[in-house]
Structures are given as structure tokens and as C-alpha cells.
Structure 1
Amino acid sequence: MPAFPLTEFLAGFALSVGGVVVLLVLVFAVAVAQKRHAVIDTAWGLGFVLVAWLTFLASMNDDGDDGRRWLMLILTTVWGVRLAVHIGWRARDGKEDPRYEAMLSDTPGSRNLYAIRRVYVPQGAVLLFVSLPVQVAMYSQAALGWLAWFGAAIWLAGMLFETVGDAQLSAFKSNPANRGKVLDSGLWRYTRHPNYFGDALVWIGLFLVAADSWPGVLTVLSPALMYWALAHKTGKPLTEQRMNSRPGYREYITSTSGFFPLPPKAGRGA
């Protein structure tokens, strides 16, 4: 088995760090101009696309397997662009996200400087860490095996869950008759967060594409961090905290799985 080009990988990682820093500086400038830091949510998916392309270009002459490089580039780009377009369209009203409004409302001193420390720096660090399977895969030299294709299938399942879940929620919200109601049909009948569950599956799939070749398996903490954030930190908990006062939501919690899709069952908790 050919040796992993560690020096070249580290150079590519440094390039990704620089690219993410530039992206976040630009996003911060736009956020200050628009007086809303929610624009970073639109840039989140694009940040992964940027890392994928920078690493892909940086690894062109380092004997990485072209099949894996192209597969990882395409999967990451499709996921990141779709997410950016969806969030950007959802936020087209130009209002600040309630999460950031709550976080920054009682800020001591400069609101923008506080946002850099609490929002931009942590998100940049998480982006670089979560994207490690993408970065490592670009330099992995073994040919694609069954595990990589299994990972691609898991990615596809996640994309379908995420895309269909988002589409169902958008259609539900667009109907004025549903104002104040809880969506409990479609995929939302089986999990309270099909979009977050799909997101987690996407990154498990990308990890498996990387783990198909050494040392991709060492990036296992990247999808684990994404799952933890979605299920236990910034995704599900914050969404449910905001929704908890809505009529019918407590009943929805008792009957619908909190994250993993399961048949509805009355009396089951989060």
C-alpha cells in the first residue's frame, strides 16, 4: 500500500484553513452591512464546498485515487450547494434568525465582536474538523472499494431525507391555514427532525467514502461531532426549545421519535 502523503495533506489543510478564514471574513462583512448574522447559515454549506474544491485542486499531483477524489468532490458539492440554496431562500425576508437574536441581544460591549467569538470562530473550527473525511479522501491512494460505494448509498439516503423533509416543511409553512400548527405528516410523522437526521446520514456516508482507504478511518470523530451537534447541541435542542410553546407540540413529542425515524407511538418521549 502506498504511503499516505502527509506533508502534502498538511499543506492542503493549511490552504483550506486560509480559504475558510477568507470566506468567514467576507460573510462577516456582509452580515455587518445587513445587520444580521444569520447569513453565516447560508455560507455554512458553501464552506464545505470551498474546502472540497481547494483540497481537490491541491491534491491533483499527489497520486490520490481519482475515483475517490471525484466522488467526494461531487457528493460534497451537491450537498453544500443544495443546503446553501435552501437556507438562502428561506432567509430571503432579510430578518435575523431568532437564535442569533437571542444569543446577541444582551451582549456586553460590541455585538459584532461578540459574534466573531461566539459564532464565526467556532463555526469555522467545526467546519474544518467535520470536513476532515473530505480532505483526507482527496489524498487517499487506494482504488474505490465496496465500503466507499456503501457510503455513497448512505449519502444518497441522507440527501433524500434532508431534501424531502425540507420540501415538506416549506410546503407546510407556505399554506396560511397551517399557521401555528405542527407538521406531523410525511417524513415528519416518523421523526421530528428528518432534515437533521438526513444531514447526519450525509456525513456518515462521506466518512465511509474516506474510511474505505487508510487513513480515512481515523476521521471517525468528524461525523460523530456533526451528529452530536445536530441531535444534542445546536440542531434539535434549539429548534425544540423554540417550538415547545406551540399548541400541539408536546403531544407531537410524545408520539414521534426525536431523531431516528421510527413508527409513531403514543407515549414515547424524546
Structure 2
Amino acid sequence: MTSATRASLVAIVVALALGGLVAWAGSQGTALVAGIPLFALAVAAAFAVQVIVWIPSQLARTEKFFDITGSLTFIGVSVAVLLLAPAADARGWVLAAMIVLWAVRLGAFLFVRVHRSGGDDRFDDLKTNPVRFLRVWVLQGAWVSLTASAAWIAMSSETRAPIGWLAVVGIAVWVLGMVVEITADAQKTAFKADPANEGRFIRSGLWSRSRHPNYFGEIVIWLGVFLVAAPVLTGWQWVALISPLFVILLLTRVSGIPLLEQKADRAWGGQDDYEAYKKRTPTLIPRLSSPA
């Protein structure tokens, strides 16, 4: 067994253990379905879907269904939690709608991007090793579960409360995040589609105010979801804080900004215009003033 395979096995075990711990904590005080906590069932389903789709994907050695599977898991599990909750209320419907709308938009965006490019070269080496390829699918299960945990816990909680001012603020924050993320993605897509921009980096629109405005929007989206969920969280259910914190950690310290910054530095590092752009443009939180 190679060191890469062993590392993948460790990552799989850690991801499953983390998902199990969050499922246990978040299930305290949630509704039961056939004697099993609804939130725990949601987490289990999120992981199970990834493993099920990994099997034919491994046989065909393709990653084309990876992103769409993640998005559909968000949608399917959220709808299932809403329908299985014994007393679905306005908060549950709002949370489900927030996740479904976000997942539909992101899934369509990623699906089109992958099929236009003909594939994702990040998976080229992984597809040849079943364990390493399984790792990314299991990690996607953890991503879905942890990211959606605040919404799923609140939707399945036995505690109920009317929509109040904090939920209204959360909805407004979510809308802001969606607008920023959609706008940033659209601007970058249009920029890359123009042959005149071949080999250049984007620094217009929202990208003139932040080097990663799409990630800023993503973080704001999940902060909004958490604010809507927060009023009905009790006791161990506050593990739902992991939802926005996980998104922030993932995008700022793990697979988001660090990887893209390294890629950009390799492509344009040392160029005067790029170094000036980096110096004057915040990494994440957009500047409110117009760029000089």
C-alpha cells in the first residue's frame, strides 16, 4: 500500500468520524423517524449518496458527475428533511428554499463549466486509484453534511419559534451573499469567454474590489442560513455553528483561496500589474471605496 493510499484511508476515516460526531451532537432534541434521529439520517444519507455514485464513476473513471452529485445531495436531503419533519413550519420551508436555490444555481454553474472544459484535471491521478478517488467522494459527503448542518438541525428540531427579526436579518444576509456570488461568477465567466483576455487575470467589476468576491459571497450565504436557524437551536444543537465556521475555514485555509492564490502567483507572479493588483485589492472582503 502506497503512502498516498494510506493517507486517503486516514482521510476517509476522519471524515466519517467527524460526520458521526456532528450527527450525534446535532441529533439531540431532534425529531425521530422510525426511532432514529432525523438529522442523523440526513447525515448518513449525504455520505451514502456519494459512495453509491462513486461506484459507477470509478468503473467508468469519470468525475463528470462529482459536482452535480454534491448539489443534488443538498437538494434531495433538504427536501427529505422538510417532508419528514413532523411539524414543518415557516422556518423549515425558508431554510429548505435557501439551500435548494443555492444548490440549483451552483450545480448548474459547475456542471456547465466541467462539461465545457471536458473534465477536471484535478481528478486525473485520483481516478486511477479507487481508494484515493473514494476519498474525494467521502470528503464531499462531509462537506455537504457540515455545510448544511445548521439548516438540517433547525428543520428537524423539536423546538419551534415564529419567524423573528433575526431570521429576517438572516434572509437579507443570504440574499446579499447570493447576489455577490452570482455576480462575481458571471463576471469571471464573461471575462474568460472573451478571447482578448487569454492569459490575463480579471480585475474588473467585483474583482476590482476583492480578489475572491465569489468566496466572500459563499461565506455570507451560509452566515445567513445560520442566522435563520439559530433561534431554535438548543444544547448540543449549537454544533450547528460548524456550518459557517467550516465554510470559512475551507475557503480561506484549505481548498479555496490558498490554492487559487498559488495558481495565480505561478501564472502572473512578478508581473508589475499583477503585483500592484494584489497590493491594492483585499483578498476576501471587498473594499467599499472605488479602486484607485
Aligned-partner Cα distance in 2 for 1:254–1:204? 28
The 1:18–1:213 alpha-carbon spacing in structure 2 relative to 1, beyond 3 Å, is closer
Contact 1:196 1:230 in 2 (8 A): yes
Runs of 5+ unmatched residues, structure 1:
none
2:108 match: secondary structure: helix
Which residue number in structure 2 is paired with residue 238 of structure 1?
A: 259
Contact 2:167 2:228 in 1 (8 A): yes
Shift of 1:38: 5.7
Q: How many residues align?
A: 254
Aligned-partner Cα distance in 2 for 1:26–1:94? 25
Contact 1:45 1:83 in 2 (8 A): yes
Relative contact order higher in (CA < 8 Å, ≥ 6 apart):
2
Which of 265, 276, 282 is the aligned partner of 1:251? 276
Residue type at the aligned position of 1:100: F
The 1:265–1:186 alpha-carbon spacing in structure 2 relative to 1, beyond 3 Å, is closer
Shift of 1:250: 3.5
Q: Identity of counterpart residues, as a percentage?
A: 32
Contact 1:210 1:217 in 2 (8 A): no
Spell out, residue by residue over 1:91-120, the C-alpha distance to the aligned partner (whole angstroms, 9 max, x if none). Answer: 11363423334x638xxxx51221212x11
Do structure 1's residue 141 and structure 2's residue 160 form an aligned pair?
A: yes
Runs of 5+ unmatched residues, structure 2:
1-27
Do structure 1's residue 69 and structure 2's residue 92 form an aligned pair?
A: yes
Shift of 1:7: 5.0
Spell out, residue by residue over 1:7-46, the C-alpha distance to the aligned partner (whole angstroms, 9 max, x if none). Answer: 5286212321342234213432453355333632333232
- Shifted more, 206-215 versus 244-253: the winner is 244-253
CA RMSD of aligned residues (A): 2.4
| TM-score, normalising length: structure 1 | 0.85
Contact 2:82 2:96 in 1 (8 A): yes
Contact 1:162 1:196 in 2 (8 A): yes
- Shifted more, 182-191 versus 133-142: the winner is 133-142
Report which of the two has the higher share of helix: 2
Do structure 1's residue 261 and structure 2's residue 286 form an aligned pair?
A: yes
Aligned-partner Cα distance in 2 for 1:58–1:46? 18
The 1:44–1:251 alpha-carbon spacing in structure 2 relative to 1, beyond 3 Å, is farther
The 1:245–1:253 alpha-carbon spacing in structure 2 relative to 1, beyond 3 Å, is same
Shift of 1:163: 0.3
- Shifted more, 119-128 versus 157-166: the winner is 119-128
- Aligned counterparts, 1:166-245, within 5 A: 166-215=185-234, 217-245=238-266
Contact 1:155 1:206 in 2 (8 A): yes
